[in-house]
């Protein structure tokens, strides 16, 4: 790069530029000793300062600062004959500071930084009151801050560029944007661009100069202005100016472009007093260059960004040349980075008048240079300062026409997050008055929420979308140029470090698509697509994106929102932020509900701007907000804009349309149609006369500006008004109609006069007299309401209706009531219960009423009689309940499945009927029959225990020793027995079949035949042999023990133990099964016998382990008995118990 690039451009300067260069040189020389011409005058006036005793040279003297009602300041000591460093200018609400004087009220001599102090003295602040009440319009644009690297990529390299930005002009135009601010686009040494290497070329990552110019053309074709970041406080350490200066500090022509000092050590005093600037992040402002030891340079924002030296006129010229270069390219203006740091980077000087004046002088010079190319150039300075008083010098006499409102941004975020209206509108109005006065009316505010140096709005709001929307609603309806940080309109989050608040613009829900940048190489923390994307929100009317679009469309449509001034408006509710926006031609009221609850407030006329009676704008998703009868309801977290009824400078008379207005005797027919009269305000009294809109009606009440006033005449109300003193007046009238009441009263009085009072019911006579008296009282009351009038009229009508009523005979009704008193409704169905209760109560009331008429008595008797006749007694459910109890007592596990469903269905139906008090006797009887039949159809499961035990025993038999034929026959019977044992459908009706099957299986077992075996005998020496065959058969038998057989006694060892040892009775024809357990380890089956075979029949059932099951059947006559015996081989029979036939 050509080191003389900036200088070479000077060769073609015209006279105005040369003159400006000379002026800059003179200004710099002047600033070396004084920053204002008044300082020279002060030197000339030094002889007249003070009245204190003169001090000798070298003595300590004190300067006391009397702020005259402003902020208090500490006195300053100095040495006699020297000057003092003036303190920061004081502040005083509603006033502009004009300097220090040796006498109050601006009298005496001006005291300035170059005034020698020869003695202790007091100086006095001189204030000029800031005029208020002036509508200061601020034409504005809707700007959109763009980090080109992160916005839109046109060539697929992942880095945003000029062509990508140009392709998104339709999006920006549709959003409502009328200007864009580009973060640095000049060649630099970093990703962010705030370390400029070349002020005359574009960042190569973004494209060519031709691409940039094409983007400018595309923006302008869409009606969008373009401003760019111009970094004039410092440049990059890679800038050729700095490289030459720091590497050749003794010979470089650029050394004085920077503040380079010959020093081997840091100056601790300077370091300790360096600006504690949160935005630079550096407290040590003096930097060292390793390649050039022994020198240091000033770099407020770090070693990579050396500060430029504005005490050098050449630097002024370079920066003005750079600005003019870009304006000639078509740029519309600049955002001026670090605008407050040009002079005074130390805490002990940065807020002094000297530094303030030097900064202001530079920015006036820069503005003049820019206006040579573009008289309408837009300049906005980054003066990051919460104290607005410290910002005044930057806008003084238009030095910087626009500054970012950091103080307002902080307040709006706090208001939205806390849901509580602070004092931000009042403070904003004070700032506008102060800045407007200081700038001679040229100041324009620049509002925003957050920018590229701050945590993003949605993160500040901790992800609360409602709060973020509220913050947007506030700043986009306030005055000034609005600045939206890219991605803010879709709720993109971001928390420092800086890369995380400058992530790619989220265009797509999938986070993939044409134009999407990836400059962080996939390391995005917040920009991840999904719901936080343009694609996901564009069609959602309740999205953050469409919230911004609606607000910007309001701003572009309503001139008072876009260009108007602002004034306070208090609804009386801290949950509502409200303010008036106005131009010379119209006004609107903006009201935002800061809370999550619906809020209703009264909209009262403003003393200066009048009434607001129509909702002009509300969000498309808002179905709640409304304005009715002066009461404004606002949906949660929503904003409404109300249109003003009166133009500024006019006075208004608002009144209810139930009256007609005449002004100075002239009826206002057009105003009477809408209830609003307006006219230009002039000094003098006008007479207002109000009469009811409908002839014959009367005025019953008057409110003036919400306060009740007295009046003498119900036909006309007169009010005298001086518009110059009372701009906006609201009247509310209560108008009533007594004409019908008067006519009815005359009729009632005449009827009472003609009636036979002795024949009248006492209550009727009393009611008539009371109604007449009440009506007369209402007629005589001039403030009676229409409700009171209508009630009096209704009372008269009721009394007239009863005037001919006579007493009736209650004898029959008394008899019916006596009968009804004996009725127990629990004995009847619900039919006619309600009718009976109503008729019974009505009849009792009529009996108790001494004024009851004949018709009332007859009607009550007829109703009670019909109710008694309609009662129906409940059905008798005792039999049904007995059947239900029987059904519920069944153990269904003992029954087969067939019939269970029918019984359950019948039981359910019976339960419904028994609970139904309205069921008929026929219904009850049928339910009982059905359930009884279902119970009768139920069948118990057949007893298969013995069969199953026998089957189990048979399956253990070793069949290998039996003939195949007998085994086959046995297996066939066994299989049949198994099938029967598994047949769940067999019921008690099939018990004979089950028992027969047991017998058949036992018989099959008994019929098993052993295979025939042959024995061979031989003897030694014998050649002959003989053989014989023996066939053995095994059968199970039951043998009766005769009386002569011996029986084992209790003292003998028992080899078999029975599960039943006590005597018991067994019903004839019934069976009983014994379990006999062999205890001596023998595997031989014991014999099972009874003492008398004519009393019991026996049968072997099964063998399970050492347990043997035997069954007996009682076949003898009742009363007969027999013992139960078992016998093991070689042992005597054992008697286990005695069983008797029952």
Domain positions in the chain are 33-129, 234-307, 650-736, 739-801, 811-870, 878-936, 945-1006, 1056-1141
Answer whether 119's CB lies under 8 Å from 53's CB: yes
Residues of the chain with pLDDT > 90, as a percent, come to 44
CATH of domain 1056-1141: 2.60.40.10
User: For the residues 74-99, what does the mean pLDDT come to?
Assistant: 82
Q: What is the H or E stretch that residue 412 is in?
A: helix 406-418
CA–CA distance, 592 with 477 (Å, rounded to integer): 10
* Alpha helices, DSSP H, located in 693-826: 739-754, 762-780, 786-801, 811-821
Per-residue pLDDT at 918:
83
CA 460 to chain CA centroid, Å, is 17
Name which of 963, 958, 1136 is nearest 1048 in CA terms. 1136
Enumerate the active-site residues: 337, 382
For residues 655-663, give the mean pLDDT.
92
Q: Report the DSSP beta bridge partners of residue 1064.
A: 1139
Compute the radius of gyration of the chain from its Cα atoms.
Answer: 57
* Higher-pLDDT residue of 703, 1024: 703
The answer, yes or no, to whether residue 189 has pLDDT greater than 80, is: yes
Q: pLDDT band at residue 1, thresholds of 50, 70 and 90?
A: very low
> What pLDDT shows up at residue 826?
79
| Rounded (to 5) percent helix, strand, coil in the chain | 35, 20, 40
Cβ count within 10 A of residue 882 = 12
pLDDT band at 1003 (very low <50, low <70, confident <90, very high): confident
Give the span between the Cα atoms of 594 and 599, in whole angstroms: 9
pLDDT, tens only, 336-367: 998 888 987 666 666 777 888 888 899 999 99
> Please, are residues 832 and 870 in contact by the beta-carbon 8 Å criterion?
yes
Secondary structure element (H or E) that encloses residue 228, with its range = strand 225-230
Whether 669 has a pLDDT exceeding 80, the answer reads: yes
- The third-level CATH classification (topology) of the domain covering 739-801 is Substrate Binding Domain Of Dnak; Chain:A; Domain 2 (1.20.1270)
pLDDT in tens, 395-414: 777 778 888 888 889 999 99
* Per-residue tokens: 306: 């050396």
Q: Ranked by mean pLDDT, which of 427-436, 493-502, 947-956, 966-975 comes out on top?
A: 493-502
Who's near 162: CB < 8 A, 6+ residues apart? 148, 185, 202, 206, 207, 211, 212, 214, 215
388 pLDDT exceeds 80?
no
Rounded to whole angstroms, the Cα distance separating 227 from 336 reads 10
Lowest pLDDT segment from 392-396, 687-691, 1104-1108? 392-396
- The reported pLDDT for the residue numbered 233 is 94
Task: Please check whether the domain covering 234-307 is classified as CATH 3.90.400.10.
Answer: yes
> Taking CA 204 as the corner, what is the angle to CA 203 and CA 206, rounded to the nearest 5 degrees?
75
φ, ψ dihedrals at 374, nearest 5°: -135, 105
What is 33-129's CATH number? 2.60.40.4270
Q: Who wins on pLDDT, 705 or 191? A: 191
Mean pLDDT score across all residues of the chain = 84
Query: Which of 33-47, 761-775, 1075-1089 shows the lowest mean pLDDT across its residues?
Result: 33-47
8-state DSSP, 658: T
Q: What is the arithmetic mean of pLDDT over 815-824?
A: 82
Residue 1023 has pLDDT above 70, yes or no: no
* Confidence band of 12 (pLDDT split at 50, 70, 90): very low
Gap between the Cα atoms of 317 and 175, Å rounded: 39
pLDDT band at 128 (very low <50, low <70, confident <90, very high): confident
pTM for the whole structure: 0.58
Which helix (H) or strand (E) covers residue 931, if one does? helix 921-936
Please tell me the distance from the alpha carbon of residue 379 to that of residue 367, in angstroms, as a whole number. 8
pLDDT, greater one: 801 or 448: 448
The H or E element that residue 1139 is part of is strand 1134-1141
Torsion angle of the four alpha carbons 282, 285, 288, 289, in this order, in degrees rounded to the nearest 10: 80
Per-residue pLDDT at 45 exceeds 70:
no
Q: pLDDT > 70: what percent of the chain?
A: 87
Phi, psi for 78 (deg, rounded to 5): -155, 180
Q: Which residues pair with 588 in a beta bridge?
A: 581, 643
Ranges 148-162, 621-635, 849-863: which has the least confidence: 849-863
DSSP labels, 174-215: HHT--EEEE---EEESSSS--SEEEEEEE-GGG--HHHHHHH
Domains 33-129 and 1056-1141 are alike in CATH topology: yes
Q: What is residue 258's predicted lDDT score, i.e. its pLDDT?
A: 95
Three-state helix/strand/coil letters over 60-126: EEEEEEECCCCCCCCCEEEECCECCCCCCCCCCCCEEEEEEECCHHHCCCEECCCCCECCCEEEEEE
What is the DSSP code string of 363-404?
Answer: HHHHHHHHHHH-TT-EEEE----S-GGGGHHHHGGGSSSEEE
How far from chain centre, in Å, is Cα 1020? 118
Please give the helix or strand (H or E) that residue 650 lies within, else none: strand 650-655
Q: Can you tell me the distance from the alpha carbon of 83 to that of 71, in angstroms, rounded to the nearest whole number?
A: 23
- Asked whether residue 1031 carries a pLDDT value surpassing 80, the answer given is no
CA dist., res. 462 & res. 470, Å (int): 14
Euclidean distance between CA atoms 505 and 145, whole angstroms: 12
Q: Which one-letter DSSP state was computed for residue 1104?
A: E
Average pLDDT over residues 275-280: 40
pLDDT higher at 960 or 470? 470
State yes or no: pLDDT of 9 exceeds 70: no
Report yes or no: 788 and 778 within 8 Å, Cβ to Cβ: yes
Mean pLDDT of 996-1011: 88
| CA–CA–CA angle 689, 692, 695 (5° rounding) | 125
What is the rounded CA–CA span in Å between residue 53 and residue 80? 12
Distance (Å) of CA 829 to CA 153, 490, 819, 871, 925: 84, 68, 18, 7, 17
625 neighbors 633 (Cβ within 8 angstroms): yes
1065 contacts 1112 by C-beta, under 8 angstroms: no
Task: Tell me the average pLDDT across 600-625.
Answer: 91
CA distance 8 to 2: 9
Report the candidate in 501, 509, 496 with the shortest Cα–Cα distance to residue 540.
509
The pLDDT of 290-303, averaged and rounded, is 89
Whole-number pLDDT of residue 1043 = 35
Give pLDDT tens digits for 565-584. 898 999 999 999 999 998 88
The answer on pLDDT for 993 being more than 50 is yes
Give the residue from 591, 605, 588, 590 showing the smallest Cα distance to 644.
588
pLDDT of residue 426: 83
Residue 803, pLDDT > 90, answer: no
pLDDT tier for residue 1041 given thresholds of 50, 70 and 90? very low
Tokens standing for residue 137: 């319009």
The confidence band for 133, taking pLDDT boundaries of 50, 70 and 90, is low
């Amino acid at each position: 790069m050509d080191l003389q690039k900036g200088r070479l451009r000077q060769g073609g300067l015209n006279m105005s530029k040369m003159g400006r260069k000379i002026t800059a040189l003179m200004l710099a020389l002047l600033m070396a000793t004084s920053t204002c011409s008044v300082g020279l005058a002060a030197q000339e006036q030094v002889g007249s300062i003070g009245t204190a005793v003169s001090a000798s040279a070298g003595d300590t003297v004190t300067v006391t600062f009397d702020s005259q009602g402003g902020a208090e300041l500490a006195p300053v000591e100095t040495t006699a004959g020297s000057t003092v460093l003036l303190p920061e200018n004081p502040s005083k609400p509603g006033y502009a500071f004009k300097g220090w004087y040796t006498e109050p009220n601006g009298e005496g001599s001006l005291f300035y930084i170059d005034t020698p102090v020869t003695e202790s003295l007091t100086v006095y602040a001189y204030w000029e009151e800031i005029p208020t009440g002036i509508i200061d319009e601020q034409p504005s644009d809707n700007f959109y801050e763009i980090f080109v690297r992160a916005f839109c990529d046109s060539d697929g390299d992942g880095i945003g560029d000029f062509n990508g930005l140009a392709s998104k002009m339709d999006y920006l135009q549709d959003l409502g944007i009328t200007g864009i601010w580009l973060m640095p686009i000049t060649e630099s040494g970093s990703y962010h661009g705030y370390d400029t290497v070349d002020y005359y070329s574009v960042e190569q990552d973004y494209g060519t100069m031709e691409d940039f110019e094409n983007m400018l053309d595309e923006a302008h074709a869409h009606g969008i202005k373009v401003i760019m970041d111009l970094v004039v406080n410092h440049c990059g350490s890679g800038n050729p100016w700095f490289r030459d200066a720091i590497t050749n500090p003794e010979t470089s022509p650029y050394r004085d472009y920077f503040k380079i000092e010959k020093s081997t050590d840091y100056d601790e005093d300077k370091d300790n007093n360096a600006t504690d600037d949160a935005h630079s992040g550096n407290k040590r402002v003096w930097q060292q260059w390793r390649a050039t030891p022994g020198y240091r340079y000033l770099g407020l924002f770090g070693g990579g960004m050396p500060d430029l030296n504005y005490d050098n006129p050449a630097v002024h010229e370079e920066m003005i040349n750079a600005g003019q270069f870009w304006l000639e390219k078509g740029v519309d203006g600049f955002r001026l980075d670090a605008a407050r740091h040009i002079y005074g980077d130390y805490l002990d000087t940065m807020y002094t008048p000297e530094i303030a004046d030097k900064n202001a002088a530079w920015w006036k010079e820069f503005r003049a240079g820019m206006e040579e190319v573009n008289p309408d150039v837009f300049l906005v300075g980054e003066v990051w300062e919460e104290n607005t008083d410290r910002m005044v010098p930057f806008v003084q006499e238009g030095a910087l026409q626009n500054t970012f409102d950091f103080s307002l941004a902080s307040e709006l975020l706090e208001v939205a997050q806390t849901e509580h209206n602070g004092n931000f509108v009042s403070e904003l109005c004070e700032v506008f008055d102060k800045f407007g006065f200081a700038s001679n009316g040229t100041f324009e505010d620049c509002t925003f929420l957050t920018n590229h140096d701050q945590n993003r709005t949605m993160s500040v709001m901790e992800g609360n979308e409602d709060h973020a929307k509220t913050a947007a609603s506030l700043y986009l309806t306030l005055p000034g140029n609005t600045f939206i940080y890219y991605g803010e309109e879709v709720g993109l989050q971001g928390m420092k470090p800086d890369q995380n608040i400058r992530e790619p613009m989220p265009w797509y829900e999938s986070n993939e698509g044409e134009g999407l940048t990836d400059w962080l190489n996939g390391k995005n923390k917040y920009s991840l697509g999904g719901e936080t994307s343009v694609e996901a929100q564009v069609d959602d009317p309740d999205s953050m994106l469409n919230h911004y679009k609606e607000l910007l469309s309001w701003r572009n449509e309503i001139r008072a929102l876009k260009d108007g001034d602002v004034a306070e408006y208090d609804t009386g509710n801290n949950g509502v932020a409200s303010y008036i926006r106005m131009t010379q031609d119209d006004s609107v009221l903006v009201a935002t509900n800061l809370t999550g609850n619906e809020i209703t407030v009264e909209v009262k006329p403003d003393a200066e701007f009048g009434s607001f009676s129509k909702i002009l704008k509300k969000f498309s998703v808002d179905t709640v907000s409304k304005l009715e009868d002066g009461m404004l309801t606002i949906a949660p977290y929503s904003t409404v804009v109300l249109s003003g009824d009166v133009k500024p400078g006019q006075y208004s008379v608002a009144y209810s349309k139930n009256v007609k207005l005449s002004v100075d005797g002239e009826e206002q027919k057009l105003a009477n149609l809408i209830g609003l009269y307006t006219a230009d305000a002039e000094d003098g009294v006008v007479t207002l006369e109000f009469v009811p809109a409908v002839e014959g009606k009367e005025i019953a009440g008057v409110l003036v500006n919400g306060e009740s006033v007295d009046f003498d005449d119900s036909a006309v109300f007169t009010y005298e008004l001086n518009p110059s003193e009372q701009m906006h007046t609201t009247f509310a009238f209560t108008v009533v109609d007594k004409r019908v009441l008067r006519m009815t009263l005359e009729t009632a009085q005449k009827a009472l006069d003609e009636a036979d009072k002795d024949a009248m019911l006492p209550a009727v006579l009393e009611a008539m007299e009371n109604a007449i008296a009440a009506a007369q009282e209402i007629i005589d009351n001039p403030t009676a309401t229409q409700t009171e009038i209508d009630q009096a009229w209704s009372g008269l009508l009721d009394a007239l209706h009863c005037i001919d009523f006579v007493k009736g005979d209650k004898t029959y009704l008394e008899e019916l009531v006596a009968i009804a008193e004996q009725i127990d409704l629990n004995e009847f169905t619900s039919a006619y219960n309600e009718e009976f209760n109503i008729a019974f109560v009505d009849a009792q009331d009529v009996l108790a009423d001494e004024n009851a008429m004949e018709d009332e008595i007859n009607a009550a008797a007829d109703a009670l009689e019909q109710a008694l006749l309609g009662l129906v007694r409940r059905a008798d459910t005792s039999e049904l309940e007995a059947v239900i109890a029987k059904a519920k007592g069944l153990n269904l596990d003992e029954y087969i499945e067939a019939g269970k469903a029918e019984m359950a269905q019948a039981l359910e139906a019976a339960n419904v009927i028994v609970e139904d008090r309205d069921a008929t006797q026929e219904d009850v009887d049928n339910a009982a029959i059905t359930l009884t039949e279902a119970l009768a159809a139920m069948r118990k499961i057949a007893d298969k225990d013995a069969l199953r035990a026998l089957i189990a025993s048979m399956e253990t038999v070793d069949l290998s020793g039996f003939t195949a034929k007998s085994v086959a026959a046995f297996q066939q019977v066994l299989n049949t027995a198994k099938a029967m044992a598994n047949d769940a459908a067999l019921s008690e009706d099939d018990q004979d079949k089950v028992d027969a099957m047991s017998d058949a299986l036992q018989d099959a077992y008994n019929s098993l035949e052993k295979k025939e075996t042959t024995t061979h005998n031989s003897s030694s020496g014998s050649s002959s042999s003989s053989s014989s065959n023996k066939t053995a058969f095994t059968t199970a038998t039951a043998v009766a023990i005769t009386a002569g057989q011996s029986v084992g006694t209790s003292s003998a060892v028992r080899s078999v133990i029975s599960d039943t040892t006590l005597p018991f009775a067994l019903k004839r024809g019934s069976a009983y099964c014994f379990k006999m357990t062999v205890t001596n380890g023998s595997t031989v089956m014991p014999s099972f016998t009874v003492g008398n075979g004519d009393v019991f029949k026996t049968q072997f059932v099964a063998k399970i382990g050492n347990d043997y099951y035997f069954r007996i059947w009682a076949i003898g006559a009742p009363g007969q008995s027999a013992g139960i015996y078992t016998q093991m081989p070689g042992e005597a029979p054992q008697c286990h118990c005695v069983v008797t036939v029952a």
